[in-house]
Amino acid sequence: MNAPVKLYEGKAKILYATDDPGVLLTYFKDDATAFNAQKRGSITGKGAINCAISSHLFQLLEAEGITTHWIDSPAPTEMRVKAVKILPIEVVVRNIAAGSLCQQTGIALGTVLAEPLVDFYYKNDELGDPLLTPQRLLLMELATAEQADTLRLKALQINEILSEFFQSCGITLVDFKLEFGLDAAQQILLADEISPDTCRLWNQSETDPARRVMDKDRFRQDLGDIEAGYQQVLDRVLAQPIQPGGERML
Ligand code: TMP
Ligand code: ASP
């Protein structure tokens, strides 16, 4: 058998071609980066944990009527996905103020937002993933106005589903980042991953601001016990079976 053809290597994942042009294989790495790769490290077992959490959450979202790129997970660190063209937009949904929102606005860490905030960022490492205005998104032709509306609506719908799910795990979904792609029919599918690398997740049984962190902030802020935080998210997520819910309207 020929060696698999590597199509792209990112900071946390590698994308391979398969025999089917409509299907790609994602390999989840243990490598961790933060602050646009200025901080680098490795989190033992992270690849398998993030692959398992993402697979579970993609299946949950599919059961709730959200179309995703997920097909299956043939090995612990591998996910087969539908081939899509990734839109160069990072869609961040925030329920509670943290991270760059606090740094850029002065809003205090932990402030519950009156309604979820959807922020678009330009996915471009050289430019440091800058925050976009809706007008700049259109100016740069990163998406059409209709696609941007769809991304916003889908992100809010996903936020409702995931917030409720994490609540049932005793975890608060503070904020998270999504990426979307277009399939051959120009349909918008949820892509990339949803994991402690891409979400802020706070353990509801801890009140201490450092102890409650179960996500990549443990790595970003050198809080220690990173693997344990990720593993606890996985254990709690897998303990919640997926109940098919049918499409939800906003
Ligand atoms: P921020 O507060 O740093 O803007 O991050 C918001 C959310 O997006 C947080 O859950 C972490 C996630 N995120 C990524 O997944 N990738 C990134 O490159 C950045 C900056 C944030
Ligand atoms: N994933 C981004 C990076 O490496 C940033 C982050 O998650 O903090 O650089």
Q: What domains sit in the chain, N to C, each tagged with a CATH number?
A: 6-82 (3.30.200.20), 85-223 (3.30.470.20)
Sort strands 23-28 and 78-82 into parallel, antiparallel or unpaired: antiparallel
Q: Report the 10 Å Cβ neighbour count for 122.
A: 17
pLDDT over threshold 70, residue 206:
yes
- Percent share of the chain, pLDDT over 70: 96
Q: Which of 16, 59, 2, 46 is nearest to 197 (CA)?
A: 46
Which of the two residues, 242 and 122, has the higher pLDDT score?
122
Q: Is 220 in the pocket of ligand 2 (CB under 6 A)?
A: yes
Rounded-to-integer distance, Cα 72 and Cα 163, Å: 23
Backbone angles phi, psi at 222, to 5 degrees: 55, 50
pLDDT over threshold 70, residue 250:
no
Q: Is 152 in the pocket of ligand 2 (CB under 6 A)?
A: no
Ligand 2 center from residue 132 Cα (angstroms): 17
What is the per-residue pLDDT across 50-89, written as a single tens digit (0 to 9) for each?
A: 999 999 999 999 999 999 999 999 999 999 999 999 999 9
Ligand 2 atom closest to the Cα of residue 36 is 9
What is the per-residue pLDDT across 177-196, written as a single tens digit (0 to 9) for each?
A: 999 999 999 999 999 999 99
pLDDT attached to residue 248 = 46
Q: Is 128 left (phi over 0), alpha (psi -120 to 50) or beta?
A: left
Ligand 1 center from residue 176 Cα (angstroms): 7
Q: Which residue has the least CA distance to atom 7 on ligand 2?
A: 34
Q: Which residues pair with 41 in a beta bridge?
A: 32
Rounded-to-integer distance, Cα 194 and Cα 22, Å: 22
pLDDT attached to residue 189 = 98
Amino acid present at 101: L
Ligand 1 atom closest to the Cα of residue 198 is 15
Q: Is 199 in the pocket of ligand 1 (CB under 6 A)?
A: yes
Q: Which of 146, 165, 184, 205 is nearest to 53 (CA)?
A: 165
Q: What is the pTM of this model?
A: 0.96
**Residue 134 host element (H or E):** helix 134-139
